[in-house]
Structure 1
Amino acid sequence: MTVRINSLNARKALEALGANIKTARLKRRISIKGFAGRIGVSESTVIRLEKGHEGVSIGTLAMACLVLGELGRISDFLDAGSDDIGLLLTRENLPKRIDGKRKRKSLPKSSSNNDKQSHSPKVDNEEGVGF
């Protein structure tokens, strides 16, 4: 099923991406037929990719970038470290202050016989956490 892009801005962005792929292919002097063979798709799919058609799969885009030697650009796309909006939203969601008053779990009370036998208190702590 093909998703219809109703946003003019998104459509223009896809068209620009397709044009950039075509320019990169031409600069490397790769024919449509050769490009399609390397990617593993039909020539018509390459033409649709270069026109920015929304129905072309992300896998085809990844293979096109690989053939063009630009696969790293996909993994950098919206990288969390360079996502300014995401970083701003993270900063806004940080707590304003941290309340240091936390209730501690009370230690189980031991009987007086157990106190005489052992100098260390019994602690029910399956995880081994000391605090």
Structure 2
Amino acid sequence: MGSPKSRSALERLGHDVRNARLRRGVAVADLAARAGTSASTVARLEKGDPGVGIGTLADVLVAMGLVERLADLLDTRKDDLGLALAAEQLPRRGKSFAAKLRRQETQGHKAQQDETDVVDPDGAAF
């Protein structure tokens, strides 16, 4: 299940979770109790099992005091490709407020012309 790249990334993530737990001197069972999950789920997370839910990962990170790292996982301010694509879609030049008013006046003038009464030769208005 999943691509080799995603499998490798999950294994690295699991390894990092394990290292963080060991540095804190916390047993798997204690971390599981703090995170509200089972010891086997924590062990699966540390092995990079793709079946472990992201909510479980978040709970484990909260228990270790690292939840802010999850929030920074996909920081759009650091997404170079996304920022470049968004910059390409920006208008080349800005439109002034005065230009917007002129356009509205022109459209209003055309609407008034369309609404004028049409008089037929007999003098009846429509």
User: Which bracket does the TM-score occupy, shorter chain normalised?
Assistant: 0.7 to 0.9
Which position in structure 2 is the counterpart of 1:114? none
Output the amino acid matched with 2:10: L
Q: Report whether the alignment pairs 1:63 with 2:74.
A: no
> TM-score, normalising length from structure 1?
0.72
Which position in structure 2 is the counterpart of 1:123? none
Which position in structure 1 is the counterpart of 2:30? 34
Which residue, out of 65, 77, 98, partners 1:81?
77
Q: Report whether the alignment pairs 1:97 with 2:93.
A: yes
Q: CA deviation at 1:86?
A: 1.4
Deviation sequence 1:3-54 (CA, Å, 0-9, x none): x31x101100000000000000000000011011111111110110000100
Single out whichever of 54-63 and 99-108 deviates more from structure 2: 99-108
d(CA) in 1 for partners of 2:94 and 2:68? 39
Of all paired residues, the percent bearing the same amino acid is: 42
Q: Report whether the alignment pairs 1:51 with 2:47.
A: yes
Unaligned runs of 5+ in 2: 113-126
Paired residues, number: 105
Output the amino acid matched with 2:62: L
d(CA) in 2 for partners of 1:23 and 1:99? 54
> TM-score, normalising length from structure 2?
0.75
Q: CA deviation at 1:98?
A: 4.3
Single out whichever of 44-53 and 70-79 deviates more from structure 2: 70-79
Unaligned runs of 5+ in 1: 110-131
